């Protein structure tokens, strides 16, 4: 079993923290991992992506081949569309619905959502709203992750342990609210009907 995931967003949105949780979960399960990141110029508010590959077997390429990704996990709706050339026809597109507008020609939101809905397997989630309802706006990325984990081939407990490991030093409260965020994302995906 393998999962090739494109994590997408805008520089500064923290996609690498999402990658870290998935990575830890995969490692704990005994899987291999390769994760290509974008550092440097694009981190200044440009489009950024990370190729995260997790697999039971050794992985060769650090980059995911076009048309082979099992998932695009995007914290920004327009950015989710940028990587469609990578998505396998049976792959999942999981995207946050909250636009990050730092350009003057940002398209109409509804047009973006329309394009996302054209993808056969998709989840469009209001992760920011859900995180706010949990009184933890910073946990939107974990809500997103919750919406995705059913498709990642790794049991939930590994993600929970990864969250405990990564947020542990910030205290029990932070761990708990992120576990709730994960749960909320999972629930959202279970009930999602497009």
Partner 1 sequence: MQKLLLLGDEAIAQGAIDAGMSGIYAYPGTPSTEITEYVHSSKEAKEKGIIASWAANEKTAMEAAIGMSYAGKRTMVCMKHVGLNVAADPFINAAITGANGGMIVVAADDPSMHSSQNEQDSRFYGKFAMIPILEPSSQQEAYDMVHYGFELSEKFKVPVMLRLTTRLAHSRAGVGRAASKEQNSGSLPSDLRQFVLLPAIARRRYQGLIDTQPAFREESAKTKYNEFIEGSDKSLGIIACGLAYNYLMENFQNGCPFPVLKIGQYPLPTDLVEKMVDSVDRTLVLEDGYPMVEELLTGLLGRGLKILGRFDGTVPYAGELNPNVVARALGLEDTYGEDAPEMLVGRPPSMCPGCPHIDSYKDLLEALEPYGNGRVFSDIGCYTLGALPPFEAINSCVDMGASITMAKGAADAGLVPAVAVIGDSTFTHSGMTGLLDAVNAKSPITVMILDNSTTGMTGGQPSAAFTHVENICLGIGVEREHLHILKPLKKNHDENTAIIKKELEYKGVSVIIPTRECIQTLNRRMRAKFKNKTK
Binding site for partner 1 (CB under 8 A): 10-12, 23, 27, 32-47, 51, 59-69, 78-79, 81-89, 91, 102-107, 111-112, 115, 119
Task: Give least dist CB 69 to partner 1, A.
Answer: 7
Q: Is the Cβ of residue 79 or residue 160 nearer to partner 1 in the bound state?
A: 79
CB of 188 to partner 1, least distance (A): 25
Q: What are phi and psi of 134, to 5 degrees?
A: -85, 10
d(Cα 79, Cα 72) in Å, to the nearest integer?
10
> Contact 166/19 with Cβ under 8 angstroms?
no
Q: Which is nearer to partner 1, 93 or 134 (CB)?
A: 93
Radius of gyration of the CA atoms of the chain, in A: 16
Phi, psi of 126 (to 5 degrees): -90, 65
Total residue length of the chain: 194
Backbone φ and ψ for 184, nearest 5 degrees, come out as: -65, -40
Of 61 and 157, CB closest to partner 1: 61
CB of 192 to partner 1, least distance (A): 21
Q: Are 188 and 181 contacting, i.e. CB atoms less than 8 angstroms apart?
A: no
Q: Residue 133 Cβ, how far from partner 1 at the closest point, in Å? A: 26
147 SS3 class? helix
To partner 1, the closest distance from the beta carbon of 187 in angstroms equals 29
| Residue number, 77 or 146, with CB nearest to partner 1 | 77
Q: Which is nearer to partner 1, 65 or 137 (CB)?
A: 65
């Amino acid at each position: 079993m393998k999962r090739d995931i494109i994590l997408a967003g805008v520089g500064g949105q923290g996609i690498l923290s999402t990658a870290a949780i998935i990575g830890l979960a995969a490692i704990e399960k005994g899987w291999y991992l390769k994760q290509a990141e974008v550092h440097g110029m694009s981190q200044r508010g440009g489009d950024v992506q990370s190729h995260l590959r997790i697999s039971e077997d050794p992985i060769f390429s650090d980059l995911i081949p076009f048309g082979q990704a099992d998932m695009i996990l995007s914290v920004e709706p327009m950015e989710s569309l940028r990587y469609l050339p990578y998505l396998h026809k049976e792959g999942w597109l999981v995207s946050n619905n909250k636009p990050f507008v730092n350009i003057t020609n940002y398209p109409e939101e509804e047009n973006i959502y329309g394009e996302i809905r054209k993808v056969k397997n998709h989840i469009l989630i209001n992760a920011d709203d859900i995180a706010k309802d949990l009184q933890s706006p910073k946990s939107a990325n974990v809500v997103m992750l919750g919406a995705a984990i059913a498709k990642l081939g790794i049991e939930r407990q590994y993600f929970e342990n990864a969250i405990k490991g990564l947020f542990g030093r910030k205290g029990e409260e932070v761990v708990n609210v992120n576990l709730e965020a994960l749960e909320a994302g999972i629930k959202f995906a279970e009930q999602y009907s497009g």
